[in-house]
Structure 1
Amino acid sequence: MGQEIGEKLKELRTSQKMTLKKLSEQTNLSIGYLSQLERGLTSVAISSLENIATALGVSLSHFFEPPSTNKNRITRSFEQKLSIIENSRFIYHNIGNDKETENMSPFIITILPNYTHEEVIPYSHEGEEFVYVLEGILSVFLENQRYELYPGDSMHIKSTLRHNWDNYTNKLVKILCNYSPKMFELKDRANINY
């Protein structure tokens, strides 16, 4: 059990790019002790493990979950990929797990204001998509109509309908969007044309 806890601790700490020194400062546990714990060379009290879990932003149960059962199904907030598309006002947070699913692409998309009021051209593609407005007012263009979606509003369409959206306010718009099938793979700070 100590070896498994140590492995999970090291994997979690390194995935967050946290040094042993920083973890030591946040938990009041020595660097040497944390190093031994990661290598399975010492045991850990529940109170110490709880401090470590808090510092790493996970629940105590994270260290006791069966190995690999849910590893590819759960995406922690610190594992989400942020993509900023050059020359665009869209910031994509990939909140899905690319390894687990091939048929959907869930994102939280932040849309910066469109101060230029450039024309939005509706387009179509295969599949379907679901949009849920988390924050702000989203202008949706669907066929030849324009709709305003407010927080809590949603839209679920076949993507073969001509559609697009934009932000014509002076505040950020945040939406939860799910494409099916998976439309594209986002790379950090990558250009995307779809």
Structure 2
Amino acid sequence: MSTSTAIGAKVKILRIGKEMTIKQLSEACGLSVGFLSQFERGISSIAIDSLETIANVLGVPLSELFVETEDKVPTEEPEDPVMHGMELIPSQASAQMYQYILKQPHTDYALLPRLYTLLPPAGEEEVPEMYSHKGEEFLFVLEGTITLYLEDRKYIMYP
């Protein structure tokens, strides 16, 4: 476990031990909920002055955050069902396509919401890749254009 990840986990343990929500910590120290969530999970690093502010809010000396413990992060706190943009992690679906899953891992779904980023072909001779599957699909084009072939019809999708 990296030092940043260990410190983030320690902050979460202390915060939950004080029965403080991440939103309450956010309001008390002036850092966003999204940033604190990423920090506690080891996704983001943090500046030492912000870490000192967190330590003060939690009522512990800054050095306490650097002490290794065997404590585990409590699991009583329910997961946030809302997916925030800064939490999206891309996965490469193909050479020209990245996807972001727009739901929390622990939630059920009838429709799997995903955001795709389609990269343009690298050169004129490169053929855009085709994507096909059975079932329903919901498309909402934010930028650019997509050619959709549905059964025997061709649709040009614009924003």
Question: TM-score scaled to structure 2, two decimals?
Answer: 0.56
- Secondary structure in 2 aligned to 1:34? helix
Query: In the superposition, relative to structure 1, how do residues 134 and 72 fare at CA in structure 2: closer, same or farther (>3 Å)?
Result: same
Aligned residue pair count? 113
Cα RMSD for the two superposed structures: 3.1
- Secondary structure in 2 aligned to 1:109? strand
Partner of residue 54, structure 2:
34
Matched, 1:135 2:155: no
**Stretches of structure 2 lacking an aligned partner (at least 5 in a row):** 1-14, 27-35, 61-76
Partner of residue 84, structure 2:
76
Aligned equivalents of 1:123, 1:74: Cα separation in 2: 29
Partner of residue 100, structure 1:
107
Quote how far apart the aligned CAs of 1:102 are. Answer: 3.6
Identity among equivalent pairs (%): 19
- Secondary structure in 1 aligned to 2:141? strand
Q: Which has the higher contact order (CA 8 A, sep 6+)?
A: 1
Which is richer in strand? 1
> What stretches of structure 1 move > 6 A for 4+ residues in a row?
none
Cα deviation 1:7-45 (Å, max 9, x = unaligned): 624962323423251xx26xxxxx4442242xx327xxx
Question: TM-score scaled to structure 1, two decimals?
Answer: 0.47
**Stretches of structure 1 lacking an aligned partner (at least 5 in a row):** 26-30, 43-66, 152-194
Matched, 1:109 2:136: no
